[in-house]
Amino acid sequence: MKPEIGYYLAGFADGEGSFNVSFRPYKDYKFPWKVSLCFNISQKDKVILALFKRHLGCGTLRKRPDGVWYYEVNNFNSIWEKVIPFFKRYNFLSAKKKRDFSKFCMIAEIIKKGEHLTEEGIKKILEIREDMNDGENRKYSEDEILQKFRESSETIRQTS
C-alpha cells in the first residue's frame, strides 16, 4: 500500500471511525459475557469504505436500510493482525482518537491473554473502556456486567 493511502485512511478514520468494546450475554454459564472488539465507520458513499476493506483485507461492507454504508471489523484475529498494526503504523492526530485507540489496544491485549474470561479481567476492561467514545451508548451497566459474572461464578460453585 502506498503510504499516502494509509495516511488518508487513518485521517478519515480519525474523524469518522469508531473503536468499540461491547459485552453481549453468552449462554454458557461459565462465561456470562462475550467481549467483542469492533472497528467501524459509516458513510453515504461506499467508495472510501471499500478502500478500507481492500487495504485492510478484512471486514464487512453493507448498506443499512437508511441508505448509509457501513464497514466493520469485529473478528478478533482480523483486529489483532490487521486493524491494530495498520493504525499503529498510520497514526491519528486527534487526542480523542489516540486515546480511544490506545484503550482499544489495551483491551485487545487482555483478550489475547485470555484474561477477559476472569472477573478480574472483566473489571480491567470495564475500567479501561469507561470513557472510550465518551461512554456513550452502553447497553449494559458496569454493575449489570459484574453482577452477571458473579452469578455465573456462584452457579459454577454450586454445580461443581
Instruction: Identify the domain containing residue 93 by its residue range.
Output: 3-159
Tell which wins on pLDDT, 157 or 11: 11
Given this model, what pLDDT does residue 154 score?
Answer: 53
Give tens-digit pLDDT for 121-156: 999 999 999 878 665 666 777 878 877 766 765 544
Interval 74-80 mean pLDDT:
97
pTM above 0.75, yes or no: yes
pLDDT tens digits, 97-116: 999 999 999 999 999 999 99
The enclosing domain of 103 has a CATH number of: 3.10.28.10
- Residue 57 cell numbers, joined: 483485507
Phi, psi of 73 (to 5 degrees): -125, 115
Q: How many CB atoms lie within 10 A of CB 128?
A: 18
pLDDT of residue 156: 45
Average per-residue pLDDT in the chain? 88
Domain count, the chain: 1
